[in-house]
Amino acid sequence: MKLNTLLDLLHHELKDLHSAEKQLVQALPKMAKAATNEDLKQGFLDHLEETKVHVDRLEEIGRAQDLALGGHKCKAMEGLIKEGAELISEDAVPEVKDAGLIGAAQRVEHYEIAGYGTAAALAARLGLNDVVPLLEATLAEEKATDAKLTELAESSVNEAAAAV
């Protein structure tokens, strides 16, 4: 895809986000299975359902833009998920692994926050008033997930890991 215009760049961002979210739909159940802290496990499962909504929103945007979102692979998400999978396979004390899973999940969230923030800013600049609220809704949810992960780490998971 040649990037000649700001709209081309937005479409590239949307394809990247779509690939990232679809990869995450596959990874979150594995993260939930690896977590031993029940709140963390449930958080991953809750975010899985939210991520499916993110995919649906992106597909709605794709239809509105007459843009096919498939055929692109987000290499950054692929790498983040690979790092998470390596952590899952480590021989680790469960409480320490849970702390590591939060770190891996937050790296994913930060990537998504950057991507959705960029896409929303591009859409706003292009005057795509039907697209901006959908991107901003997902951006707000990604920020909320990041905040929940921080709260969980600071309120219990890191303390449990430090106690072993």
Is 136 domain-assigned?
Answer: yes
Please name which of 46, 50, 61, 48 lies closest in space to residue 16, comparing C-alpha atoms.
Answer: 61
Is 1 domain-assigned?
Answer: no
User: CATH no. for residue 31?
Assistant: 1.20.1260.10
Is 147 domain-assigned?
Answer: yes
Do 34 and 84 contact (CB within 8 A), yes or no? Answer: no
- What pTM value is reported for the model? 0.95
Do 142 and 113 contact (CB within 8 A), yes or no? Answer: yes
Domain that holds residue 80: 6-162
Say how far apart CA 110 and CA 20 lie, in whole Å: 12
Do 19 and 62 contact (CB within 8 A), yes or no? Answer: no
| Total domains, the chain | 1
Is 58 domain-assigned?
Answer: yes
Fill in the DSSP letter of residue 3.
-
Per-residue pLDDT of the chain (164 residues; tens, 9 = 90+): 699 999 999 999 999 999 999 999 999 999 999 999 999 999 999 999 999 999 999 999 999 999 999 989 999 999 999 999 999 999 999 999 999 999 999 999 999 999 999 999 999 999 999 999 999 999 999 999 999 999 999 999 999 999 99
pLDDT for position 140: 98
Is 100 domain-assigned?
Answer: yes
pLDDT for position 28: 97
pLDDT for position 42: 97
Is 72 domain-assigned?
Answer: yes
